[in-house]
Amino acid sequence: MTDTASRTWRNWGGNQRCAPVEIARPRTVEDLVEVVKSGATDGLRVKAVGSGHSFTDVACTHGVQVRLDEYARLLCYDPDASTVTVEAGMTLAALAGDLARRGLALANLGDIGYQTVAGAISTGTHGTGVGLGGLATDVVGLQLITADGSIVSCTPDEEPEIFAAARVGLGALGIISTVTLRCQPAFNLRAVEEPIRLDEVLASIDDLVDGNDHFEFFWVPHTGWALTKRNNRTDEPVSPGRGWRFLRDKVLFENVAFGAVTRLGRLRPQWTPRLARIAPGSGRTEYVDRSDRVFTTPRWVRFCEMEYAIPRAAAVGVVERVRRYVEESGLYVGFPVEVRFAAGDDIPLSTASGRQSCYVAVHMPQAVPYEQYFRGVEAIMDGVRGRPHWGKLHYQTAATLSSRYPGWERFQAVRDRLDPEGLFSNAYTDRVLGPPLSA
């Protein structure tokens, strides 16, 4: 279960690495308790890692790295409560597939399914849809291994403060062993994807956001175009030609062709504006498919990303400022700026805590310097009290973040109670949450 050889771990984006002194691969909850207890005895910090799809160093450790790929099963489905309980390391894609076979689905997903359930909720992973919260809002129960090796079960009624905090816990409260999620009958979505002028999208943003179950758009920098996606629930069956359409749109266009354009842009950055004009030529597509297949897409082109949650009412002004910034900065930006929406929630460290939110994400291809771009965009987000996605790059600290979350103190009280010594801390939590109580 434990491997003591030191080895380097890298995240998906390739921008974070660490060298844990031990790697643990627990298979049971007893193994997990043992890993936590022996880490504490040996004076090592302990950190669970999911699929490594965070761009920040949130999952990095130089102590014990807990990999949960062998602790990844669906444990039970409760038809009366319409909930499913899974081991923390199960991926969203595996869960969605398993649910579909039972005629079930999650209400919403982000744009990939590679993340683990625990990793996704711990950073506040979300999709788009103004009536829907992030994945953590569908969590109805959790089991957590805390610093003293206790197994703590929490729900809205049992240990409610721990439950509230641990749904988006940045891995800082303990190791999540199981997660119970609300699910619902499987459903199909009608997807309509089409380029529309950005000015038109911004002029009718409320109609687009409120008039669709899931609306998002991607502004293509150096052009006046946005690629829009509208997904709405339907009783219609899956459209014929699914395999071919998937190959054409999601594999050939979004990965192979986009990858080639990105490589060209990396070699000749000054060509980026001209290359960008190719994207809106993709035309309109419309189809019906199973919800998880509409939400998620394979991602072969590697990149680094920053994403901010801002009050929904600030969306238009912020997108216009980001557009002006890109145009005036002289930067060549080869990746679309993604804009999504979500309902507010009551989770202390959720980026949508207490307010309906718009998410604005900026990207740079892997190995292309991003700091100037991201810092420029971050300054715009600071102006509207933006909250950074915990798994995506940003330059904030506990001092700049604490006043942006109504539940900040509530979270810190739970952290102080459960992990005063900082067994589950790392450099990232020290920066964004502050050092542990006893440091």
Ligand X SMILES: Cc1cc2nc3c(=O)[nH]c(=O)nc-3n(C[C@H](O)[C@H](O)[C@H](O)COP(=O)(O)OP(=O)(O)OC[C@H]3O[C@@H](n4cnc5c(N)ncnc54)[C@H](O)[C@@H]3O)c2cc1C
Binding residues vs ligand X (CB under 6 A): 12-13, 47-54, 58-59, 68, 88, 110-112, 115-116, 118-120, 122-123, 125-126, 170-171, 175-176, 299, 389, 391
Residue position matching structure tokens 């986009």: 258
Q: Shortest approach of ligand X to residue 72 CB, angstroms?
A: 10
Please say which residue, 82 or 356, places its beta carbon nearer to ligand X. 356
Token pair for 121: 């909720």
Please say which residue, 179 or 198, places its beta carbon nearer to ligand X. 179
Q: Shortest approach of ligand X to residue 422 CB, angstroms?
A: 14
What is the spatial distance between Cα 197 and Cα 296, in angstroms, rounded to a whole number? 25
Please say which residue, 202 or 352, places its beta carbon nearer to ligand X. 352
Q: Shortest approach of ligand X to residue 94 CB, angstroms?
A: 12
Inter-axis angle of helices 315-329 and 371-382, to 10 degrees?
Answer: 150
Q: Shortest approach of ligand X to residue 88 CB, angstroms?
A: 4
Please say which residue, 12 or 373, places its beta carbon nearer to ligand X. 12
Please say which residue, 54 or 231, places its beta carbon nearer to ligand X. 54
Long-range contacts, stretch 275-278, CB < 8 angstroms, 24+ apart: 275/334, 276/220, 276/221, 276/222, 276/223, 276/334, 277/222, 277/223
Q: Shortest approach of ligand X to residue 408 CB, angstroms?
A: 18
* Cross-sheet strand order for the sheet of 46-49: 2-3, 22-24, 64-67, 46-49
Token pair for 422: 């900082």
Distance from chain centroid for Cα 65: 21
Please say which residue, 55 or 332, places its beta carbon nearer to ligand X. 55
Q: Shortest approach of ligand X to residue 110 CB, angstroms?
A: 3
Give the count of beta carbons closer than 10 Å to the beta carbon of residue 119.
Answer: 27
What torsion do the CA atoms of 178, 184, 187, 190 make, to the nearest 10 degrees?
-80
The angle at the Cα of 228, spanning 118 to 296, to the nearest 5 degrees, equals 30
| Nearby residues of 206 by Cβ (< 8 Å), 6 or more positions away | none
What is the spatial distance between Cα 411 and Cα 61, in angstroms, rounded to a whole number? 22
Token pair for 53: 């799809």
Please say which residue, 38 or 82, places its beta carbon nearer to ligand X. 38
> Which of 213, 215, 223 shows the shortest CA–CA distance to 358?
215
What torsion do the CA atoms of 352, 358, 362, 363 make, to the nearest 10 degrees?
70
Q: Shortest approach of ligand X to residue 330 CB, angstroms?
A: 27
Q: Shortest approach of ligand X to residue 132 CB, angstroms?
A: 12
Please say which residue, 122 or 137, places its beta carbon nearer to ligand X. 122
Q: Shortest approach of ligand X to residue 169 CB, angstroms?
A: 6
Q: Shortest approach of ligand X to residue 102 CB, angstroms?
A: 23
Q: Shortest approach of ligand X to residue 199 CB, angstroms?
A: 26
SS3 427: helix
What is the spatial distance between Cα 334 and Cα 341, in angstroms, rounded to a whole number? 23
Percentages helix, strand, coil for the chain, rounded to the nearest 5?
35, 25, 40
What is the spatial distance between Cα 306 and Cα 287, in angstroms, rounded to a whole number? 30
Token pair for 150: 């206790």
What is the spatial distance between Cα 328 and Cα 326, in angstroms, rounded to a whole number? 6
> Which of 133, 97, 126 shows the shortest CA–CA distance to 111?
126
Please say which residue, 27 or 271, places its beta carbon nearer to ligand X. 27
> Which of 32, 35, 54 shows the shortest CA–CA distance to 116?
54
